[in-house]
Amino acid sequence: MDPCVCQKKTPELKAEGAPAQVFQAVLDKAHDRKVKRIKALTVKVGGAGKEAANDARLLGLAIPQLGKASVQVKQSMKCEFGEDSFEMSFTGSWDRYKPVKALTDAFGKQAEKVQVSATLNASFEPALEQGSDQFQAIRDVFNSLGFGKLSLEAESAQEEGA
């Protein structure tokens, strides 16, 4: 294996759990690996039941509070209402997702059974400094909204000359 390939590998900055612990774990890993800037965050929620549907709804509420970011959303949902059912899959920009969110929020609350998976990809240009005000604001948003459980992955920005 070419030794240069190993040196350019992006450090893994992932955690899963309650928002406060997840963001702190990712920050700790970034600090330990000397990652100074983060170019993207990926937040995933999902599962079965009302809590998972609520977490997907909360993810949509967090998006407008991220600050300057390029956002992509991927969501799939299956709901059962007795003999009636609803199933959908969406991948696209925040602007296109807004009307979908209104529909999935309503069905997620009404369904007898619900299965949902939602992923938010936010890219930052310029990259976020690890302890920047914007990063702290994003952390505060996720802490304050009341998520049950989420998965967070941060992508480090390549340093100049790396």
92-147 pLDDT tens trace: 999 999 999 999 999 999 999 999 999 999 999 999 988 788 989 999 999 999 99
Residue 5 domain flag: no
- Cβ atoms 90, 73 nearer than 8 A: yes
Residue 4 domain flag: no
- Cβ atoms 92, 72 nearer than 8 A: yes
Residue 7 domain flag: no
- Cβ atoms 7, 130 nearer than 8 A: no
Residue 8 domain flag: no
Counted domains in the chain: 1
Residue 9 domain flag: no
pLDDT digits (tens, 9 = 90+) for 60-106: 999 999 989 999 999 999 999 999 999 999 999 999 999 999 999 99
Q: Rounded CA gap, 125 and 81, in Å?
A: 43
- Cβ atoms 140, 62 nearer than 8 A: no
pTM for the predicted model, two decimal places: 0.87
Q: Partners of 154 in the beta sheet? A: 41
Residue 134 domain flag: yes
Q: Rounded CA gap, 77 and 90, in Å?
A: 9
Residue 6 domain flag: no
Residue 3 domain flag: no
Question: Could you tell me the residue range of the domain that residue 35 belongs to?
Answer: 14-156
